[in-house]
Structure 1
Amino acid sequence: MTSNYFRNIIRFSLLALVQVLIFNRMNFFGFINPMVYILFLYWYPIKENRALFLATGFLLGFTIDVFSDTLALHSAATVTIAYLRPTIMRFVFGVNYEFQNFKLSNSTTAQQITFLALLIIAHHLVFFVLEIFSLANFLLILKKVFATVAASLILCLLLRSLFTEAKE
């Protein structure tokens, strides 16, 4: 139990540091900044306290906001995907999610990638709609969402493959 908390604290700290120190400074094509800290919400244990998960999601977003000067955009996006996570999991994993012994590592790779992609899409959609805050710029929102989703998904998949234990 305590190793789970320790692991989550390490993941939280490292992903926040990597996001703030490395990925926030990247600017592909002038507007694409990959957001890899979403992996924390992907890796967070499934059957943990939901209120604690929402608070941790807010704290993660707030931490990124403080160092990125983004006026609570990350906080709103992370709380939104933390709230939507059970619904997304039910959609991707179906009835398997309802079982008490369900683990993300026991699901197929396609399900894991779909789950991660939906988390990233939901996060980026909320983030860029709030950032631009004008439906007159709908095409700009879509451009930023799709480009940043592609970059974030590729980098998240790379990081996921580096730090996930292989199945035997």
Structure 2
Amino acid sequence: MTSNSTFIIIIRFILLILVQVLVFNKLNFFGYINPMVYIIFLYWYPIKEKRSLFILLCFLLGIMVDWFSDTMAIHAAATVTIAYLRPTIMRFCFGVNIEFQNFKLTNSTKAQQITFLLLLIIIHHLIFFTLEIFSFKNTLLILKKVLFTSMATLALSLLLNSLFSVKKR
């Protein structure tokens, strides 16, 4: 990892925590939709970096959001789970292309990128709301929260991605 990419990762990490805690945790659309845009860190993180460092960073990301949100490590559990599942999700979305040394997320199609981001978001939200509600009697409530929060998170994440992505020239 170069010092420039390390600096960018650290800045994204800190800014996503701050934006999530100071802005998006305060939003509450229709009483139950609370976008979780910090998940985009898992989308932006370089593909070929060390997996153990990535899982540790995702744990720290989740635990920091938990600490500021007072949610008892639910964010950390959901974030570490999708960090662990990320290679499998990538193989599902991009096929064997991720095995090549020169594969970059920006070289894939928009549909593949959106599918990858959407799967990260849905799995995270499914784990998060299942742990938060922790009752099979409320399965419909869990699914409703997952569906609507995922749509809001995806829309805001795509907006952030388009605003802060590096454009090719």
TM-score by length of 2: 0.98
Which residue number corresponds to residue 156 of structure 1?
A: 157
2-structure distance, mates of 1:101, 1:125: 32
Deviations 1:6-57 (A, max 9, x none): 0000000001000000000000000110000001110000010110000000
Which residue number corresponds to residue 113 of structure 2?
A: 112
Question: Which runs of at least 4 in structure 1 moved beyond 3 Å after TM superposition?
Answer: none
2-structure distance, mates of 1:113, 1:165: 17
CA deviation after TM superposition for structure 1 residue 163, in Å = 0.7
Which residue number corresponds to residue 25 of structure 1?
A: 26
Map 1:85-100 to 2 at 5 A: 85-100=86-101
Deviations 1:58-108 (A, max 9, x none): 000000000000000000000001000000000000010111111111111
- Identical counterparts, % of pairs: 70
2-structure distance, mates of 1:163, 1:132: 34
Amino acid at match of 2:145: K
1-structure distance, mates of 2:99, 2:137: 41
List runs of 5+ in structure 1 lacking aligned partners: none
Deviations 1:105-144 (A, max 9, x none): 1111111111000000010000000000111100000010
Which residue number corresponds to residue 103 of structure 1?
A: 104
Q: Secondary structure, in 3 states, of the residue corresponding to 1:71?
A: coil
TM-score by length of 1: 0.98
Amino acid at match of 1:91: F
How many aligned positions are there?
Answer: 168
Which residue number corresponds to residue 8 of structure 1?
A: 9
List runs of 5+ in structure 2 lacking aligned partners: none
CA deviation after TM superposition for structure 1 residue 166, in Å = 2.9
